[in-house]
Amino acid sequence: MDKDPEPAFASESDRTEVDVSIQLEEQKNTAVTANLSEYPEPASTSQQPPVPTPDDPPDGGLQAWLQVLGSTAILVSTWGVINTFGVFQAHYETSLLSSHTSSQISWIGSAQGALLFFVGVIAGPLYDAGYFRHLLITGQALTVLGQFMTSLCTTYWQVMLAQGVAMGCGMGLTFLPSAAILGQYFRRHRALALGLSSVGSPVAGTVFPVVFSKVLSKSGFGWATRAIAFILLGVSTIPVAFMRTRVPPTKAGRKRDWSYFIDNTAFMDWPYVLFVAGGLFAFLALYVPFFYIQLYATSRGVSGESFAPYLVTLLNVGSIPGRVIPTAMADRWGSLNLAIVCAAGSTVMVFCWLGIRGLGGAVVYALFYGAFSGGVVSLTPSVLVSLCPDMGRVGARMGMSFVVSGVAILVGTPIAGAILGNDRDPRWLGTILYSAFGLLVATLFYVSARILVYRRKQTWRA
């Protein structure tokens, strides 16, 4: 049989040449590999997109929007309840606590709002330390329990303890964490998420006065209060069921020194100082209409007792666009600029309160004041973030601002009540001017802060 032909090489010399060339090629590849190992491999920006880290917020998805839903529910049981206190104020003055003055009764509602801020300063670090679920469940339980116990109260100190202290502490444990958790799920759409969650407050303030007045006329104070408590109980299941932190707490969140609570550099940051001073005057005066508009309508004969509670509802109806629209515009026009507009608008509307003579004027006033005052509240956190030079100090600066705002809410409406006197001979002129000039001073402080920001950044967008 014939031999198979040689497949690759014609002669021995060809085979030798190929062997030598292979060795030279291997030596060349080895040298190139050694040279490349001395330098880091350049990051590729065209072939491979960067892999997202676990810390990057998803900016959407079912789980993220469930957090917004849960935060909205918490706003129902916090600011939504506070915005409803006007119907309780009117009932207490005319029935349950008629032996007490307007100022004494308004301390109950102001204690709720103040404790929401004061306890929130403690809840913030606990949230950073990983106790979000503990804060959520404890706070919701306290709020619902306080509302149920209010329905059984017959004396002033009982109402203060249940509706003022217990509910205020529960609100404080949940409010700040409910806003902070959205930062774990949203970055580009964070303002939208915060704006949508804040709608829970005016929606509750719209529904609760109607529920209270309807049930009060048929079943009395106890069941009117319990009806709202059952609503709060049902709403509280939403955040308990769906709200979860996405990232574990960091070591910075577990630190125990006072620098977490106080930023010493803030005291020399004059735009921040002026804005916080403006917030002091704003919150001294902002909630006076919410507490006293119903009593004004009945004492001045602007509307009958059957329609008066709906003025509180209309204040909250107007607050819905007032909370959403300014926050949606803030990224383009600047949070501080819009805060000035809303504060100035609130000032003008309170002065217009002096001219209300009939039901039509009261309705228009309630809608417009609700819109402007809602903008002041919703824009405040955004302005504080924009004025902070370092995002690592936002928590401390917001906490310091919350303390000032809490003091203002605590004493603001009782001062208005002291000016007003009793419901038999109310001094409405002094009460309205107190609210109007408080907001006017707040607006001037905001404008001063804006001027200093312009000098610093040379831009009107802030």
Q: What is the mean pLDDT of residues 151-171?
A: 93
Between CA 211 and CA 218 the distance in angstroms is: 11
Question: Tens of pLDDT along 204-220?
Answer: 888 898 899 889 988 89
Which tokens go with 297? 């309508």
Between CA 367 and CA 312 the distance in angstroms is: 10
* Highest mean pLDDT out of 99-103, 378-382, 439-443: 439-443
Query: What rounded mean pLDDT belongs to the chain?
Result: 80
Which tokens go with 89? 């104020």
User: Which has the higher per-residue pLDDT, 324 or 303?
Assistant: 324
Position 43: which residue type? A
Q: What is the dihedral of CA 17, 18, 19, 24, to 10 degrees?
A: 90
Q: What is the mean pLDDT of residues 251-275?
A: 72
According to DSSP, residue 92 is labeled: I
Which spans in 388-458 are helix H? Answer: 394-420, 428-457
Between CA 96 and CA 222 the distance in angstroms is: 11
According to DSSP, residue 162 is labeled: I
User: Which has the higher per-residue pLDDT, 430 or 458?
Assistant: 430
pLDDT for 279? 93
- Please report which helix (H) or strand (E) contains residue 326, including its range: helix 308-333
Between CA 454 and CA 457 the distance in angstroms is: 5
Between CA 8 and CA 264 the distance in angstroms is: 82
The C-alpha angle with vertex 87 and arms to 84 and 92, in degrees rounded to 5, equals 125
Task: Tell the residue number behind the tokens 């190992």, with chain if given.
Answer: 37
Per-residue pLDDT for 36 more than 50? no
Per-residue pLDDT for 30 more than 70? no
pLDDT for 237? 94
pLDDT for 167? 95
Q: Are 389 and 269 in contact (CB under 8 A)?
A: yes
CA distances from 343 to 284, 316, 409 (A): 13, 17, 16
| Closest C-alpha among 127, 130, 221, 122 to residue 168 | 122
DSSP 338-379: HHHHHHHHHHHHHHHHTT--SHHHHHHHHHHHHHHHHHHHHH
3-state secondary structure of 459: coil
pLDDT-derived band at 462 (thresholds 50, 70, 90) equals low
- Whole-model pTM: value is 0.72
pLDDT for 335? 84
Q: What is the mean pLDDT of residues 413-423?
A: 83
Question: Is the C-alpha dihedral spanning 280, 281, 284, 288 positive or negative?
Answer: negative
Neighbours of 371 (CB within 10 A): 24
Q: What is the mean pLDDT of residues 376-396?
A: 75
Which spans in 62-199 are helix H? Answer: 62-77, 79-82, 85-91, 102-128, 132-150, 156-159, 167-180, 190-197
Complete domains list, the chain, with CATH: 57-246+254-261 (1.20.1250.20), 263-461 (1.20.1250.20)
Task: Tell the residue number behind the tokens 């979860």, with chain if given.
Answer: 244
| CB-count exposure of residue 188 (10 Å: 0-12, 13-18, 19+) | exposed
pLDDT for 171? 93
- Please report which helix (H) or strand (E) contains residue 53, including its range: none
Between CA 113 and CA 85 the distance in angstroms is: 10
| Closest C-alpha among 329, 334, 366, 335 to residue 350 | 366
What is the distance, to the nearest Å, from the Cα of residue 292 to the centroid of all Cα atoms in its chain? 24
What is the radius of gyration, based on Cα positions, of the chain?
Answer: 31
Between CA 284 and CA 408 the distance in angstroms is: 5
Q: At what angle do helices 102-128 and 132-150 cross, to 10 degrees?
A: 160
pLDDT for 34? 43
Between CA 142 and CA 162 the distance in angstroms is: 9
pLDDT for 15? 43
Which tokens go with 234? 């049902």
pLDDT for 250? 57
pLDDT-derived band at 255 (thresholds 50, 70, 90) equals low
Task: Tell the residue number behind the tokens 């006017």, with chain if given.
Answer: 440
**Cβ contacts of residue 296 below 8 Å, gap of 6+?**
302, 356, 426, 428
User: CA end-to-end span of the chain, whole Å?
Assistant: 95
Question: Tens of pLDDT along 319-328?
Answer: 888 888 887 7
